[in-house]
Structure 1
Amino acid sequence: MIFSQDIGIDLGTSNTAVCVKGKGVIYHEPSVVSVDAATNEKTVSAVGHEAQTMIGRTPGSVLAIRPIREGVIADYTATSEMIRHYIKKAIGKSLLVSARVMISVPAGATEVERRAVHMAAREAGARYVSLIEGPMAAAIGAGLSVMKPDGRMIVDIGGGSTQVAVVSLGDEVTVSSVKIGGEALDKAIVSYFAAEYNMLIGSTTAENVKIKIGSACEYLGEANLDVRGRDLTDGLPKSIEVSSAQIRIALEEPLSKIIALIKSTIEKTPPELVADILDNGIVLTGGTAHLRGIADLIHNEVGVPVTVAENPQECIIQGILYCLENNDAKTLG
């Protein structure tokens, strides 16, 4: 007898989370795959944490890549192998278990992008594949009453994209997205150091700067941080001390585009639901919701109360888990 195992995957640009019906969220791993380019078929040699340690440190024949870019598949083969890795970890080595998989996709994903995710999962060994849009999963995972007739706005700021949706009666009434997320903030910091200090820093260093002193608004306890990189003139090591205020300047442009997306989404929303949003506020999800002061910035710019969901980086996978546990016919169909 073949048994089915229901598995949920939040396939993110930076990180991937996996849940199993009856077991909960079982693990998180970076969305990174290492590939041996010396072989004709570019064999995948490592996935997740193991592959992440290779970024920037691999020999010429080994490439550490992120197969998901800005929320969509950039490398089909690597994505399929990554999903296969997750499925095997979830169901083990038993030949008597087949996988039914639910995967999140970005809001507004094209039919081609949706088909790519579906086919990648099928080729990875999933017997049945269903897709759920990220904002709806995030809203469910954040505990919003998505089946009620009043409008609720969810802003999911992930690693590769920001997705904004107004949900009501179990559906997305208005949805928008922009390919700006945590990675865009990191790139903005890299560009700032190059322009202001003629200094090159890596993406990992930029992310560390963002986490330690990055912010969207002024905050108590602002600090300075010593940052090391390479001088772009002579190629020698270089060290610069920067302040929280300087990094805030570096983040202004990408954050302004997220604000613009939220405003444009509200402008496209029916007036009755806009009134609901004023009452209910905006809920932030996604890993970048941890950025200091981002809720205050959005409140100041949009004029609507803003709250950050509990464990915002977990909301999409928790929403998928809820659907699996409750056999949600709408999202599983």
Structure 2
Amino acid sequence: MIGKFVSRDLAVDIGTATTIVYVQGKGVILSEPTMVAVKDRGGKKIPVAFGREAKSMLGRTPEGVEVIQPVRTGVIADFDIAGLLLNHVICKARKESGSLFRPRVVVGVPSGITEVERRAVEESIVTSGARDVRLIEETIASAIGCNLPISEASASMVVDIGGGTTDIAVISLNDIVCSVSLRQGGTNIDRAIINHLRRAHKLFIGERTAELIKITIGSAHPSFDDQRMEVQGRGLSTGLPSGVVVNAREIREAIDEVLMSIVYGIKQTLESTPPELSGDIISSGISLAGGGAMLKGLDKYLAEKLGLKVTLAADPQNAVVHGAGLCLENRELFASVLK
């Protein structure tokens, strides 16, 4: 009976778009948008909704209620709101796992964050009830989650495309050999779609509609160009509700600048890779992870641009948290990658 209530340690991926929690021995039990709806009451922000409920309020909030995304470009931008969100998800995870004691937590962080940003993550997790916090770079966690042989003396290359960042790394012997971190991700694709609709169709749309377009007809490769959908928004010239039909080709062309920045980031990383390891990448190729990697045809697009084999992870959105979770389950094996 006592064993039922022992502390279950957690792995957390607090991303720009999504926060995911892995519970030791149970796997992923929670995946929610990284959003909090707050109401201003006497100068103090009071939370009224978290995650999916908060996201459903985007663009629909009454006066005095604001939907906040506390993580920007992969790092905590609003410490107080991030603390509220983390407290909510960690308490929820502890309740669902049946744990009564404060957990140890492993958190995925972007490769390029500063020491100040690292401390902000640690403090937010500790404030949320953790008794110990360890950080793991998201590219290493992604590689572990993709089942890449990172402990071997050969190169593994991973590209983790999140909501606000793209982290690219070549890994060997449990360490990063070279890496590039870009402040580009899924939210940049959404903004490119919003800007295209405004310029080409004089139609103003919100973030939720842009994301829906991306999921429905968004693609990186011409093989999906025959798709189309009707989009509704507000006409810029009339200010009235309006709708247009958009096709996949124009959306693909609108987001190509964002995708090319990822291509350049990968090329920059490859150019910095020692010659001895370059041959390994030719053989093993590149592994794609992160929610942004689920854009249709992206693996094919990158393979054609780079001339290398590109493989999409089996569960790209959860690759980071799965990798961090495996570190929880095998602490001795992965001790060197935890900070």
Paired position in structure 2 for 1:234: 238
Which of residues 73, 77, 80 in structure 2 aligns to 1:77? 80
* Structure 1 position 212, deviation (Å): 1.0
Aligned mates of 2:141, 2:24 — CA distance in 1: 15
* Runs of 5+ unmatched residues, structure 2: none
8 Å contact from structure 1 (residues 283, 306) kept in 2 = yes
* Runs of 5+ unmatched residues, structure 1: none
Please list the CA deviations of residues 191-216 of structure 1 after superposition, one character each: whole Å capped at 9, or x if unmatched: 00111111111111111111111111
TM-score, scaled to structure 2: 0.94
Please list the CA deviations of residues 161-191 of structure 1 after superposition, one character each: whole Å capped at 9, or x if unmatched: 1110000001111111111111100100000
Identity across matched positions, percent: 43
SS at match of 2:9: strand
* Structure 1 position 332, deviation (Å): 4.0
Aligned mates of 1:56, 1:50 — CA distance in 2: 13
Aligned mates of 1:56, 1:5 — CA distance in 2: 37
Q: How many residues align?
A: 333
Paired position in structure 2 for 1:59: 62
* Structure 1 position 221, deviation (Å): 7.2
8 Å contact from structure 1 (residues 103, 131) kept in 2 = yes
8 Å contact from structure 1 (residues 3, 98) kept in 2 = no
SS at match of 2:111: coil
8 Å contact from structure 2 (residues 155, 171) kept in 1 = yes
SS at match of 1:234: coil
* Structure 1 position 40, deviation (Å): 2.6
SS at match of 1:254: helix
Aligned mates of 1:50, 1:220 — CA distance in 2: 32
Aligned mates of 2:211, 2:99 — CA distance in 1: 41
SS at match of 1:233: coil
Aligned mates of 1:95, 1:184 — CA distance in 2: 38
Aligned mates of 2:44, 2:216 — CA distance in 1: 40
Report matched runs for 1:171-320 at 5 Å. Answer: 171-219=175-223, 222-320=226-324
Aligned mates of 2:199, 2:240 — CA distance in 1: 17
Q: Which amino acid aligns with 1:87?
A: I
- Which contiguous aligned blocks of 4+ residues in structure 1 show a shift greater than 4 angstroms? 93-96
Q: Does 1:167 align with 2:141?
A: no
Q: Which amino acid aligns with 1:274?
A: S
Q: Which amino acid aligns with 1:182?
A: G
Q: Which amino acid aligns with 2:249?
A: A
Report matched runs for 1:41-190 at 5 Å. Answer: 41-92=44-95, 96-190=100-194
Paired position in structure 2 for 1:5: 8
